[in-house]
Structure 1
Amino acid sequence: MSSPNVLQSLLNTFLGELRKIVTLPASGLAAAGTLIGSAGITVLNAFGTRAALDSGAQGSRAVQSAFETGYAAVPLGTVGAVVIGVVAVSSEYAANSPDAGGGRQITTTLAASPHRVRLLVAKALGVLLLVVATAAVTIPVCVALAGLIIGGASGGVAGSDTAVGWGEAVARSAGAGLYWSLTALLALAVTVLTRSGIVPLVVLVTNSSLVSFSLLLTHVTPLAHWLPDMAGRRLFGGLSTVEGGLDVVPGALVMAAWAAGLLAVAGVVFARRDA
């Protein structure tokens, strides 16, 4: 098959998978929940900052710039990214209702797109696009909300030690979006390997929001800093308070290597085993 035909086939598969992912109720709820939840946290934080400013507490730890106040809610998006990455695959293996024959969507998907590696690439690209779009909307909305609530009371800075320039703001926002994206791809790969959404959702959501198993492991061995979530944590910039570990660029490369490696393994497994 010629290269143009391969690219056209990949594009068609990608568009079909993107449409499927976007229309999944769980992925839509994850994207909307990320936006609404992050905005809600930002509003609470911003009113706290505004109250501190009104009470004359300029320069205290309770006072943050509009960017820092809005950006503080960004880690919540990691949970949404996990959900999107998981359901993009787990929905294929969920049993349909008895009225629909009780089968699984994966058989229909493979009938329409029998090239499994191409199908997995299309799914990964669809997940990546949805997560990037969610980040591109959520982060600016949170920062804008913080700015509207805090207003000019702090001059947009709220203390010279918390000043964030446009370059840093863009870099940190891009870093957060990259972290979300790589987390979603890791979740997708793990779900392909398990063929179930339950284990990846429980483990990855818990690790991202409640108890970081990787962080606990750093107290046992410094090698835990090379695990994907710990390696990439500095992509969030000033929000990372854990000492030691990798710097931003090496950490991002390690996290990307984990995502690429797991996707490669998932591709091999997906191509060789029965549906």
Structure 2
Amino acid sequence: MRAFNAELSKLFSLPGIWLAFLIGAFAPAVIAALDSTAQKEEIIAGVSTRLPEVGYIGLALGVQGVIILGVLAVSSEFLTESSESGGGKQITTSLTVVSSRLHFLLAKAGAVTVISILLCIVAIMTTVSATHLILGEYAPAFEWSRLTGAVCYWTFTALLAFGITVLTKNGIIPLAVLITNTSFVSFSFLLSKVSTLAFYLPDRAGIDMFMSMSDSFHTPFTGGLVIFVWLAVLFVVAVMVFRRRDVAS
């Protein structure tokens, strides 16, 4: 428990974490508001084919906050400190205090999980408010089962970013790939036009946990199971690599 509390404290001490909170809390609401505005006339006229997605689209595309969170949680450990602080790395101190590397990773992953859940709840509140503000009585019903799927999607995405960063020891590659994939160009979506195997990629399967899209491939449960399997495999590999790695290098 002390290791978990220490990891929470370290996360909140990072300057970049506040950018993650800001993006995570408000980016989904902005995206949902823009989508609601664009769809408003069709929704009022009753001809919109995308009404079930309005609002939820913000939660699907607005996960950058938890991606930053997952990456920062690990990459901050490998940053070289200033010469005044001895020029070392935080990871050396962390593993001196928590000698078990598995315990260390579990504590850090637990901290990322808790913050991701709380951040997604805030994002849901801002997104629902923005959607109702623009659409009023025409706003779609936000179902608890789908909102729970969104919370799981955000949490799993943060942990995927966490695991990838453990492997790379650097935040640039995970940030570039994951943020590009979730906001600009979805590689999974493009690959799905070529092969149905793309529907088993983690981000594509995770979307099916709460989005009602015309090309949905999985049930919410199956989508969650697919992304969980990806996460479990990644975490096992990350633990194996981390336990064998010279963290000082």
The alignment's TM-score, normalised by the length of structure 1, stands at 0.81
Aligned match for 1:39, one of 10, 20, 29: 29
RMSD of aligned alpha carbons: 2.4
Q: Which residue of 2 aligns with 1:210?
A: 184
Is the Cα–Cα contact under 8 Å of residues 193 and 269 in structure 1 kept in the other structure?
A: yes
The TM-score with structure 2 as length reference comes to 0.89
Match of 2:232 among 235, 260, 264: 260
Matched, 1:22 2:18: no
CA displacement at 1:256 relative to structure 2: 0.4
**Stretch moving more, 228-237 or 189-198:** 228-237
SS of match in other structure, 1:236: coil
Unpaired segments ≥5 residues, structure 2: none
Q: How do 1:59-138 residues align onto structure 2 when only pairs under 5 Å count?
A: 59-61=46-48, 64=51, 69-138=54-123
Match of 1:150 among 135, 156, 163: 135
Please report how far the alpha carbon of residue 142 of structure 1 lies from its aligned counterpart in structure 2 after TM superposition.
1.6
Rg: which structure is higher? Answer: 1
Q: Give me the whole-angstrom Cα distance separating, in 2, the residues matched to 1:147 and 1:274.
A: 52
**8 Å Cα contact 1:57/1:63 also seen in 2:** no
Q: Distance in 2 between matches of 1:87 and 1:267?
A: 18
In structure 1, runs of 5+ residues without a counterpart are 1-10
Does the 8 A contact of 2:64 with 2:182 survive in 1?
Answer: yes
Contact persistence 1:70–1:144 (CA under 8 A) = no
Structure 1 consecutive aligned stretches of length 4 or more whose deviation exceeds 6 Å = none
Counterpart-to-counterpart distance in 1, 2:194 and 2:48: 32
Per-residue CA deviation, residues 74-102 of structure 1 (Å, 9 max, x unaligned), is 12332212111111000101111223222
Cα distance in structure 2, aligned partners of 1:23 and 1:108: 16
Q: 1:207 to 1:61 in 2, by over 3 A?
A: same
Q: CA deviation at 1:148?
A: 3.3
Conserved 8 A contact 2:161-2:174: yes
Shift of 1:48: 5.1
Per the alignment, do residues 263 and 63 of structure 1 end up closer, same or farther by CA in structure 2, a change over 3 Å counting? Answer: closer
Segment drifting more, 41-50 vs 124-133: 41-50
| Compared CA separation, residues 48 and 251, structure 1 to 2 (3 A) | closer
How many angstroms apart in 1 are the aligned matches of 2:211 and 2:135?
A: 22
Shift of 1:251: 1.6
CA distance in 1 between partners of 2:36 and 2:201 (Å) = 33
Residues 2-30 of structure 1 show CA distances to partners (whole Å, capped at 9, x for unaligned) of: xxxxxxxxx11011101111332222211
Superposed CA offset, 1:59-116 (max 9, x none): 1329958xx5433311233221211111100010111122322221111111111111
Q: CA deviation at 1:244?
A: 5.6
Matched ranges for 1:38-57 at <5 A: 38-47=28-37, 52=41, 57=44
Aligned-partner Cα distance in 1 for 2:200–2:36? 34
Whether the 8 Å contact between 2:60 and 2:207 is mirrored in structure 1 is no
Q: Number of paired residues?
A: 247
Equivalent AA in structure 1 for residue 46 of structure 2: G
CA contact (8 A) 2:31 2:62 kept: no
Identity %: 40
* Structure 2 residue aligned with 1:269: 241
Report the Cα distance in structure 2 between the residues aligned to 1:32 and 1:231, rounded to whole angstroms.
26
Counting only pairs closer than 5 Å after superposition, residues 201-240 of structure 1 correspond to structure 2 as 201-238=175-212, 240=213
Q: Which amino acid aligns with 1:59?
A: G
